[in-house]
């Protein structure tokens, strides 16, 4: 299974996808 997440902070967004073993496959961040 693949999971996706979005963290929205005050200065940037962080998006990531990972698997059921908690291994991050891809991560990207960009300023808000």
Question: pLDDT by residue for the chain (32 residues), tens digit each?
Answer: 999 999 999 999 999 999 999 999 999 999 99
What local confidence, expressed as pLDDT, does residue 23 receive?
Answer: 97
CA distance 4 to 8: 13
- Structure tokens belonging to residue 19: 């698997």
What local confidence, expressed as pLDDT, does residue 10 receive?
Answer: 92
- Structure tokens belonging to residue 11: 């200065």
What local confidence, expressed as pLDDT, does residue 1 receive?
Answer: 96
CA distance 31 to 22: 25
What local confidence, expressed as pLDDT, does residue 22 receive?
Answer: 93
What local confidence, expressed as pLDDT, does residue 9 receive?
Answer: 93
H runs (alpha helix) in the chain: none
- Residue position matching structure tokens 């962080």: 14
Q: Do 14 and 7 meet the contact criterion of CB atoms below 8 Å apart?
A: yes
What local confidence, expressed as pLDDT, does residue 6 receive?
Answer: 98
């Amino acid at each position: 299974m693949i999971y996706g997440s979005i963290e929205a902070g005050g200065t940037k967004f962080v998006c990531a996808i990972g698997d059921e073993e908690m291994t991050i496959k891809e991560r990207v961040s960009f300023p808000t």
